Structures are given as structure tokens and as C-alpha cells.
Amino acid sequence: MVLIAKRLPEATWDILEISDYFDDRSETAGCRFRQSLEKTIQMLCKNPEFGEVLRYDKSKTIRYRTMIDFSNYVIFYCVERDSLVVVRVLHGSRNYVSLF
């Protein structure tokens, strides 16, 4: 079963912020980032177990996976019924423990 991708508002803001960062440096880089994001999300929709369980999440429902071709960026997500819900998209160097 292939899941349908959804994004929380926080994830949408993360994506816009990161896209703007890359667009300011190079329109090509921004486009590559967005393509990589969609490619990674589609892969996770087909295989949500590819991500690791976030050990800091008390509910143990949030998983994470680095992006394809942009391995410094991490997609945090959970599975709800027939949906893959993107919770956040963050640079791997961020202290994300306090966010969850």
C-alpha cells in the first residue's frame, strides 16, 4: 500500500525556509532541493519503515530519514492510517531533541 503524503504547517514553513536559502544561492540548487524532497517523500510513502524511530519521541511514532542527495537535511514523519505525515524538515546539525 502506498501512503498519501501530508505536511504539517511547521514542515511547510521549514521547507519554504530551506528552499529560500538555496534559491538565494542558486535557482538550480533550490530546484534540486525541492526535487530531492519530493523524491524522498515518495520513497517514504512506499516504504515508511525505511526511517528510524526517533528515540527522543515519547510516543515512539515519529520516524526520521535523511534526504536523498541532500543528506544534511532530515525529514521527520509519522504514519497515520493511510497517510505519511511530514512533521518537520530540518538541517541535521540542529538540536531537534527539544522540538519533539
What's the mean pLDDT in 7-29? 96
How confident is the prediction for the chain on average, in pLDDT?
92
Write down the domain spans for the chain: 4-99
SS3 sequence of 18-32: HHHHHHHHCHHHHHH
Q: Could you report the per-residue pLDDT of 35-70, keeping only the tens digit for each?
A: 999 999 999 999 999 998 888 776 778 999 999 999
Contact 32, 21 (CB under 8 A): no
Pairing, β 63-67 against β 52-53: antiparallel
Strand duo 83-91 + 4-7: pairing:
parallel
- CATH 3.30.2310.20 given to domain 4-99: yes
